[in-house]
């Protein structure tokens, strides 16, 4: 059974993962066409916002107002590209988890996998509700304010006059709202995928601890544990290498968006437009927090393994087994640590540092 089932449903919705049942040539063409449509939808939205900043923005207030929305589109497009490019790698990373030695074999190991699967499902569902509630709030606020005034939800440069007719305006307005929703789902799918795989690394470490706790004087069992431990390190390194640029982009953009949002909120009065800004800020903070939290959890779990091995009944084991356990302990001294582009570590300290940096930039913007 495939892991991260809910996440893969989201990937299917955004056009990044063709359902396995769609194996015929006709259905493959239909889904590939849908994927192209989603890519065009996101990138035309980004280009229109970017061109508006270049050609239409005149003041600092207009720049900050457009900048945070454009950054969100940049992240969505980069994540969409990353998911499409890494489809084979995603398939490999998820299939590994249902093969030996990663596949749970006994009842207690199955319970451990089930516990982490439920955690991933709950986190993904809550995160999806938060993000889509924000999108719904932005859309409703825009419909009640900007739409009535004949304005678009986001300022954009377009090669035609969208005020020329009601139909053209409504189609352009709908394009922005659909692109907003699609981009939000891309963010949810990509973040849930990466964080879900981080949780599965914690799951594998806990399964390994369970197997080591039942270790007897049979050398074959320990040899499998050593291979499992080595495989977890290789798995973590591969996951980090495939998504390091996506994580780095998320860190950079989150810093800029948070300080830009703080500036916008300080300039806005408490009105209908304040709630979407507040929800958007919550989404951005949650987005980067889950990366840092589960990156930190992986590091703690890999460090905790050393203490658990040290607490085993060494006197009941023979010399060869004790030597093999020492090999695992020596390897565990250096914990599994995820980084963004091998520069900034994904942990709670990095999250606090991001908030401090954002606030410092906000103070600088306010003074200027």
- Cβ(36)–Cβ(142) below 8 Å: no
When pLDDT is cut at 50, 70 and 90, the band that residue 326 belongs to is confident
CA-derived radius of gyration, the chain: 24
pLDDT of residue 17: 94
Neighbour tally for 34: CB within 10 Å: 15
pLDDT in tens, 6-20: 999 999 999 999 998
Count of beta carbons in the 10 Å neighbourhood of residue 348: 15
344-345 vs 339-340, strand pairing mode? antiparallel
pLDDT digits (tens, 9 = 90+) for 288-316: 899 999 999 999 998 888 888 877 777 67
Check whether 204 has a pLDDT greater than 60.
yes
Contact 134, 184 (CB under 8 A): yes
- Residue 80's pLDDT is what? 94
Regarding predicted confidence, which is higher, 59 or 3?
A: 3
Which residue pairs, CB below 8 angstroms and at least 24 apart, start in 87-91?
A: 87/16, 87/17, 89/238, 89/242, 90/17, 90/193
- Using CA atoms, how far residue 84 sits from 4, 190, 251, 289, in Å, is 17, 11, 21, 24
Can you give the pLDDT at residue 362? 72
Sign of the alpha-carbon dihedral angle for 261, 264, 270, 273 = negative
Confidence class for position 341, pLDDT limits 50, 70, 90: low
Lowest mean pLDDT among 73-77, 266-270, 320-324: 266-270
The band of 47, judged by pLDDT with boundaries at 50, 70 and 90, is very high
State the CB neighbour count (10 A cutoff) for residue 213.
13
Nearest one of 186, 17, 15 to 5, comparing CA atoms? 17
Q: What angle do CA 50, 56, 58 make, to 5 degrees?
A: 115
What backbone phi and psi angles, to 5 degrees, belong to 340?
Answer: -95, 110
Q: Return the percentage of the chain with pLDDT > 90, whole number.
A: 47
- In this prediction, residue 268 has a pLDDT band, given cuts at 50, 70 and 90, of low
- Check whether 318 has a pLDDT greater than 60: yes
* Tens digit of each residue's pLDDT (9 = 90 or more) over 215-259: 765 556 778 888 888 899 999 999 998 888 888 888 888 878 887
Q: What is the mean pLDDT of residues 273-302?
A: 88
Q: What pLDDT does residue 269 have?
A: 64
């Amino acid at each position: 059974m495939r892991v991260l089932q809910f996440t893969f449903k989201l990937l299917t919705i955004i056009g990044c993962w063709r359902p396995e049942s769609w194996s015929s040539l006709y259905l493959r063409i239909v889904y590939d066409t849908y994927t192209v449509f989603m890519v065009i939808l996101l990138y035309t939205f980004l280009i229109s916002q970017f061109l508006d900043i270049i050609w239409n923005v005149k003041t600092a207030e207009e720049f900050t107002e457009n900048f945070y929305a454009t950054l969100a589109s940049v992240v969505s497009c980069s994540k969409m590209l990353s998911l499409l490019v890494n489809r084979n790698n995603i398939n490999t990373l998820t299939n590994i988890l249902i093969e030996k030695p990663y596949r749970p074999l006994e009842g207690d190991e199955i319970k451990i996998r089930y516990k982490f699967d439920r955690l991933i499902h709950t986190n993904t569902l809550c995160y999806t509700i938060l993000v889509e509630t924000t999108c719904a709030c932005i859309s409703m606020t825009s419909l009640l304010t900007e739409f009535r005034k004949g304005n678009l939800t986001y300022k954009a440069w377009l090669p035609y006059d969208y005020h020329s007719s009601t139909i053209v305006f409504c189609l352009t307005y709908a394009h922005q709202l659909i692109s907003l929703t699609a981009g939000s789902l891309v963010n949810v799918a990509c973040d849930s995928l990466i964080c879900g795989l981080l949780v599965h690394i914690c799951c594998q470490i806990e399964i390994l601890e369970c197997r080591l706790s039942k270790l007897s004087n049979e050398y074959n069992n320990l040899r499998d544990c050593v291979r499992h431990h080595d495989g977890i390190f290789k798995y973590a390194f591969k996951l980090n290498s495939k998504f390091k640029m996506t994580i780095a982009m998320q860190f950079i953009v989150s810093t800029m968006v948070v300080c830009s949002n703080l500036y916008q909120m300080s300039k806005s009065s408490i009105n209908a437009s304040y709630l979407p800004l507040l929800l958007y800020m919550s989404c951005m903070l949650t987005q980067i927090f889950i990366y840092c939290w589960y990156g930190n959890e992986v590091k703690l779990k890999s460090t905790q393994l050393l203490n658990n091995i040290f607490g085993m009944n060494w006197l009941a084991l023979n010399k060869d087994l004790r030597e093999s356990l020492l090999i695992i302990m020596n390897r565990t001294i250096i914990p599994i640590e995820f980084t963004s582009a091998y520069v900034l570590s994904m942990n709670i300290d990095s999250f606090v540092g991001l908030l401090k940096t954002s606030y410092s930039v906000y103070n600088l913007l306010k003074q200027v």
